[in-house]
């Protein structure tokens, strides 16, 4: 049996979200003219708030606007590396580093499970010492380009639990004790599934839920 420590990324391991900053980083360093499209990005966010589109469609629209319809992985690598380096330097909670070190010392398999795109999150995960990264996948076409289209589920809410369970089944690992960390109540399905749920710097709704369920609450700074 394998004991697991599963971490959400944005605002759990990191202080701030990474998805929009990643797209802005790519636009600024690769095609600054795309920043002129920010008003359209704002309109897409308003459409999401109005429930005219879902989170997955919002991601696809903003990906296409700020990064482009399709990009070769080699073209993305420099952007991913520079963004990951900046994230590790300025946007990782001190408590996250301590928790990762503790979980690894306990012999746990340390896994990131994030709604952010896996193609950049896995670089952050690897540099932080994670064994695996589960995230939202982008379609890699026959043209070997990363497309502005989600492959499968957006790794958020109930879909995150589904993707974690699928990863566990495909890995061939036998589930042992599972410790799960997140800042957000959208991860309630994974919290309920875990043996040891830990709410990290929780927002109000998760703080209330944690108090009701008796879940541990930690401040990672």
pLDDT at 81: 95
Tally of domains within the chain: 1
pLDDT number for residue 141: 65
Domain coverage including residue 53:
2-218
**Using H for helix, E for strand and C for coil, what is the string for the chain?**
CEEEEEECCCCCCECCCCHHHHHHHHHHHHCHHHHHHHHHHHHHHHHHHCCCCCHHHHHHHHHHHHCCCEECHHHHHHHHHHHHHHHHHHCECHHHHHHHHHHHHCCCEEEEEEEEEHHHHHHHHHHHCCCEEEEEEEEECCCCCEEEEEECCCCCCHHHHHHHHHHHHHHCCCEEEEEEEECCHHHHHHHHHCCEEEEECCCHHHHHHHHHHCCEEECCC
Q: What's the pTM value of the predicted model, to 2 decimals?
A: 0.93
Q: What pLDDT is recorded for position 143?
A: 67
User: What's the CATH number where 157 sits?
Assistant: 3.40.50.1000
Tens digits of pLDDT across the chain (221 residues):
999 999 999 999 999 999 999 999 999 999 999 999 999 999 999 999 999 999 999 999 999 999 888 888 888 899 999 999 999 999 999 999 999 999 999 999 999 999 999 999 999 999 999 999 999 998 876 567 788 889 899 999 999 999 999 999 999 999 999 999 999 999 999 999 999 999 999 999 999 999 999 999 999 98
Q: Quick one: pLDDT at residue 12?
A: 98
């Amino acid at each position: 049996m394998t004991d697991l420590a599963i971490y959400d990324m944005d605002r759990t391991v990191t202080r701030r979200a990474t998805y929009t900053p990643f797209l802005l980083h790519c636009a600024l360093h690769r095609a600054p003219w795309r920043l002129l499209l920010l008003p359209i990005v704002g309109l897409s966010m308003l459409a999401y708030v109005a429930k005219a589109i879902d989170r997955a469609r919002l991601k696809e629209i903003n990906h296409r606007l700020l990064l482009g319809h399709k990009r070769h992985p080699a073209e993305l690598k420099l952007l991913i590396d520079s963004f990951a380096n900046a994230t590790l330097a300025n946007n990782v909670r001190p408590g996250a580093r301590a928790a990762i070190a503790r979980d690894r010392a306990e012999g746990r398999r340390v896994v990131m499970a994030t709604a952010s795109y896996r193609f950049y999150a896995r670089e952050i995960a690897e540099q932080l010492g994670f064994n695996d990264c589960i995230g939202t996948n982008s379609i890699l076409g026959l043209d070997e380009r990363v497309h502005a289209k989600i492959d499968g589920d957006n790794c958020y809410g109930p879909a995150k639990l589904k993707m974690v369970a699928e990863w566990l089944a495909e890995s061939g690992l036998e589930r042992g004790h599972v410790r799960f960390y997140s800042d957000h109540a959208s991860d309630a399905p994974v919290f309920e599934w875990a043996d040891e749920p830990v709410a990290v710097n929780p927002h109000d709704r998760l703080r209330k839920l944690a108090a009701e369920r008796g879940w541990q609450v930690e401040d990672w700074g």
